[in-house]
Amino acid sequence: MSLSAFHITNNLYIPADYHVNNDFEEQYILLRNRENRIYTDEELFHLPDIADSHPHFSEWMIRKRSAQRLIAKLETRKELLSILEIGCGNGWLTYQLSRIPGSRVIGIDINLTELHQAARVFNSNSKLKFIYGDIRSGVISDLKFDAIVLAASVQYFASLSGILNTCLQHLTKKGEIHIIDSPFYKQKEVDDARKRTKEYYSRVGLPAMSDYYYHHCITEFSVYSCKLLRNPFSVRNKIFRTSNPFPWIYIKN
């Protein structure tokens, strides 16, 4: 990654020839406002901990447990780790990952609004950088990572195989991919899920957002060397009705 190709402000790197995807970002920020998902700098710094009166408190407790399990898994490697979070948004998880001893972390996103907040809130962390751009564009083509994380973001990629194959190209020899906090479906469930998504976005007044949200099947992972480290489809989880509906998918290079 040649630094001359970026405008650098503190820990935020913006390609010199960047182009903002206004259509998506404007819709997405409007949605997050309407869903009460825009956080103050103070709230962001303390995420995933948040007041129990917050409308998304239960959701954040799920994400907190997911993050804790992921971090514990990565810490078992007991070596210096280069980590990439794709679709990092406001950077709360990127920051948590940077607290792993010996880690150096990059968060990348096409949402410049939230990246500016992430860079501002976590500016004092020298182990952490944020990059504006789409990883599939080659913006960091020369970098490889020991771990790549997609948390609550894979549903914004039209092609699951496309983003996974790109990730594999950016892994070190012993690298791994972790996908958490995203919904996956059985094939027979996809049509109903798409219908619910369209109805929801229409209800909040942003029907165009349904064009940016994709419904991937769990069977799409069959061509990869992967494991379900957490399986919401298991008989045990169905019986006990655990609160986390999302799988934890682990892919080894």
Q: What is the pTM of this model?
A: 0.94
- Do the Cβ atoms of 70 and 149 come closer than 8 Å? yes
Which band of pLDDT confidence, cut at 50, 70 and 90, is reported for residue 21?
A: low
In this structure, how many other beta carbons lie within 10 angstroms of the beta carbon of residue 219? 11
Q: Which helix (H) or strand (E) holds 41?
A: helix 41-46
Whether the pLDDT of residue 241 is over 80: the answer is no
**Cα–Cα distance between 62 and 181 in angstroms, integer?**
8
pLDDT at 81: 95
> Is there a contact between 6 and 16 (Cβ–Cβ < 8 Å)?
yes
Structural domain containing residue 235: 3-252
pLDDT over 70 (residue 20): no
Mean pLDDT, the chain, whole residue set:
93
Distance CA 247, CA 229 (A): 7
Domain count, the chain: 1
- Give the CATH number, domain containing residue 173: 3.40.50.150
Q: Is pLDDT of 242 > 70?
A: no
pLDDT of 27-84, one tens digit each? 999 999 999 999 999 999 999 999 999 999 999 999 999 999 999 999 999 888 999 9
